A and B are shown apart, each in its own frame.
Chain A
């Protein structure tokens, strides 16, 4: 039947074209990450390498930018500085629950007294307090990690995680369209600027990306006396929640002046897209994502970033954690210490566009000059959880819509 043959050919052509699109699409990182993830378990079971080197097993489920950086830049540098160690980098991104599964394995190994085959995690143990209580993780402080003395107190999230890289939400703008003297310095300046330039500013939906979420948080700070510390409790304080409508009013007043009369994209990357193709000339972005987009040429070099000078937007620090029962615990502690060295902290800034976990003043002078517009030792911490639920619900019900909540 000619029809059937035709159909088969159509199918084949379609699949080929589909495959072609899938391969050439930039949104196909799983293809590159798969080999790393699958070959990893075999690597950890391999016999100790010759030459008397002891292995430091490192697990991460971070994004490609982090795992690539650790495997290609950090690993060689660490092995050169500490010839007695070999760093085994295992990427468990997208494999089960990621590092949490390896932590479960470490706990099981602890109970039976076996080798957990894991030394360092690129992971925040606070997510699983039961492991902390069970004693799976080592307490980290300047006592066992000397370089930790340079890490500001405020960056610590818990004594079981040592912050080693940070990122913060910044204001990005196109310097070819906005003269430097017009760039907003404070949140109030931004509101005025946006209203004066309708359609030129955008931030993403607060629940779809931190660059939008932390911008909304900054609006919440604005109406609650600019004191991020009042948001520390796990359960939202009704007294503070009562102030939220003022923030909705403030953001709502900008709504019509946002890109396309209030079209908020569904994520961090769509915002970078709009900035890259010139649809908007100002947006809120993550420091590391914008830095990498600039390096790769995704964002034109005319894009510059600044931070509010009155009160910065929130950000967060990623910690390293050490398994208490690790076979090579000294290697693990040496690795954490190494990551906090000036050289590696410089690499955090230069290679992944992150923020250093040690104070900027320890970094090379030229780097400090280059980042002077965004340098701050104040990275407000937003607790998330129920606070974020209140933030998102309030934003959707009062800012993104014309419908007044509660009206019939």
Chain B
């Protein structure tokens, strides 16, 4: 990490020298008042978060770790619900499945998102505008509509199957009701966010940096691995964290496009709660899902609060 870091420092120094920016305006004078005012401004959202997110979350945790005996009515602190979860092969399979689908989806998002973001960042052609519109398009399509469209497009005897048939390829197996179906749909749904954040990260890399690297003879691949990747780790981490959290708790698309078994945690929770009327079981699953997402959330918070390496 040290070598590219040093290099980066040099490049950044060059870049700053080339684009000499004005110093930020001093706001020291009003600090004493604005501090208090700031707290007042953020009080409502914080209160809503405490009431609607933290309070139910803590209540859920408490309810799952304090088990009351049906006969004596005594409550004891016990991990019984969690042990039951991990002893159930079906639920264990659901959790593993969710982790695998999430990792596959996020990996595919990087594979698709990075080239798109690089194209949008560096292309000067008029086509770039069209590509951007297409990239952002999934943002405006509701999940249910997407699922319906994918079923029609990717299903057996769907449009894709028909097109393959025209060019003489047979033996198509539809991803509908398979794990691949979930991954395809979730990747499509999360592309806009991924590309937006990655493009924003790439825009912070000044042209001068790349030009000077090119001047010293760096190849395209070297520029990508030594400059663009290290300089966009922050954006990449943000993309990773928020996508993992979003995908892990997905419900609509896995519900409509996924297999009956194993199912993703969102679907599994809904089933435990609605069909089996197993409130505590659903809560236990929710707490576990929440813990995994919270761990990723911590990584996210650390990423955005870490001072920029400049």
- Using CB atoms and an 8 Å cutoff, list the residues of chain A in contact with chain B: 6, 10-11, 13-15, 17-18, 21-22, 25, 27, 205, 207, 260, 262-266, 270, 273-274, 277-279, 388-389, 392-393, 396-397, 400-401, 403-408
Q: Is the CB of A6 within 8 A of B148?
A: no
Q: A10-B132, A260-B178, A265-B177 are in contact. Are A274 and B156 (CB under 8 A)?
A: yes
Q: A27-B144, A263-B178, A403-B93 are in contact. Are A13 and B133 (CB under 8 A)?
A: yes
Flag the segment in B23-31, B135-143, B236-244, B284-292 that touches A. B135-143
Q: What are 26 A-B contacts defined by CB distance under 8 Å?
A: A10-B133, A14-B133, A14-B136, A18-B141, A207-B271, A260-B176, A263-B176, A263-B178, A263-B260, A266-B256, A266-B260, A273-B155, A277-B155, A277-B157, A278-B157, A279-B155, A279-B157, A388-B275, A389-B276, A392-B275, A396-B90, A396-B261, A401-B260, A403-B90, A407-B89, A408-B89
A400 to B90, alpha carbons, bound, how many Å?
11
CB distance from B309 to the nearest CB of A (A): 26
Name the contact of A25 in the complex, choosing from B145, B151, B177, B260 (C-beta under 8 A).
B145
Task: Kindly identify, within residues 287 to 303 of chain B, every residue whose CB is under 8 Å from any CB belonging to chain A.
Answer: none
- Nearest CB in chain B to that of A276: its residue: B157
Chain B interface size, under 10 / 10 to 19 / 20 to 34 / 35 or more: 35 or more
- Which B residues are in CB contact (< 8 Å) with A388? 275
B255 within 8 A of partner (CB): yes
Q: Is the CB of A6 within 8 A of B132?
A: yes
- Which A residues are in CB contact (< 8 Å) with B259? 263-264, 400
Taking A18-B141, A273-B155 as known contacts, 9 extra A-B pairs with beta carbons closer than 8 A to each other, sorted by chain A number, are A6-B132, A10-B132, A14-B133, A25-B145, A260-B177, A274-B156, A396-B261, A403-B261, A408-B89
Q: Is the CB of A17 within 8 A of B137?
A: yes
- Which B residues are in CB contact (< 8 Å) with A403? 89-90, 93, 261
- Nearest CB in chain B to that of A391: its residue: B275
A393 to B278, alpha carbons, bound, how many Å?
11
Name the contact of B156 in the complex, choosing from A25, A264, A279, A396 (C-beta under 8 A).
A279
Q: Is the CB of B89 within 8 A of A404?
A: yes
A278 to B176, alpha carbons, bound, how many Å?
15
A397 to B260, alpha carbons, bound, how many Å?
10
- Which B residues are in CB contact (< 8 Å) with A397? 90
Which of A14, A265, A392, A404 has most B Cβ within 10 Å? A14
B277 within 8 A of partner (CB): yes
- Which A residues are in CB contact (< 8 Å) with B276? 389, 392-393
- Which B residues are in CB contact (< 8 Å) with A396? 90, 260-261, 271
- Which A residues are in CB contact (< 8 Å) with B157? 277-279
Task: Kindly identify, within residues 123 to 140 of chain B, every residue whose CB is under 8 Å from any CB belonging to chain A.
Answer: 129, 132-133, 136-137, 139-140
- Which B residues are in CB contact (< 8 Å) with A266? 255-256, 260
- Nearest CB in chain A to that of B177: its residue: A263
CB distance from B18 to the nearest CB of A (A): 22
B81 within 8 A of partner (CB): no
Q: Is the CB of B151 within 8 A of A273?
A: yes
B173 within 8 A of partner (CB): yes
A205 to B177, alpha carbons, bound, how many Å?
12
A270 to B177, alpha carbons, bound, how many Å?
11
- Which B residues are in CB contact (< 8 Å) with A262? 260
Q: Is the CB of B277 within 8 A of A389?
A: yes
Q: Is the CB of B90 within 8 A of A401?
A: yes
CB distance from A114 to the nearest CB of B (A): 37
Name the contact of B260 in the complex, choosing from A13, A279, A400 (C-beta under 8 A).
A400
- Which B residues are in CB contact (< 8 Å) with A274? 155-156
Name the contact of A22 in the complex, choosing from B145, B178, B260 (C-beta under 8 A).
B145
Q: Is the CB of B140 within 8 A of A14?
A: yes
B4 within 8 A of partner (CB): no
Q: A25-B145, A389-B276, A401-B261 are in contact. Are A14 and B137 (CB under 8 A)?
A: yes
A389 to B281, alpha carbons, bound, how many Å?
14
Name the contact of B148 in the complex, choosing from A14, A17, A25 (C-beta under 8 A).
A25
Q: A264-B260, A277-B157, A405-B90 are in contact. Are A21 and B145 (CB under 8 A)?
A: yes
- Which B residues are in CB contact (< 8 Å) with A404? 89
Q: Is the CB of A18 within 8 A of B142?
A: yes
- Which A residues are in CB contact (< 8 Å) with B256? 266
Q: Is the CB of A270 within 8 A of B261?
A: no
A397 to B271, alpha carbons, bound, how many Å?
13
A140 to B173, alpha carbons, bound, how many Å?
55
Mask for B152-169, Cβ within 8 A of A = 1, else 0? Answer: 000111100000000000
CB distance from B146 to the nearest CB of A (A): 10
A273 to B176, alpha carbons, bound, how many Å?
12
Q: Is the CB of A277 within 8 A of B156?
A: yes
A400 to B93, alpha carbons, bound, how many Å?
13
- Which A residues are in CB contact (< 8 Å) with B275? 207, 388-389, 392-393
- Nearest CB in chain A to that of B87: its residue: A408
CB distance from B10 to the nearest CB of A (A): 30
Q: Which 6 A-B pairs have the closest CB atoms?
A: A263-B177, A14-B140, A401-B261, A279-B156, A400-B260, A18-B140
- Nearest CB in chain A to that of B255: its residue: A266
- Nearest CB in chain B to that of A397: its residue: B90
Mask for B183-215, Cβ within 8 A of A = 1, else 0? Answer: 000000000000000000000000000000000
CB distance from A248 to the nearest CB of B (A): 13
Mask for B83-100, Cβ within 8 A of A = 1, else 0? Answer: 000000110010000000
CB distance from A279 to the nearest CB of B (A): 4
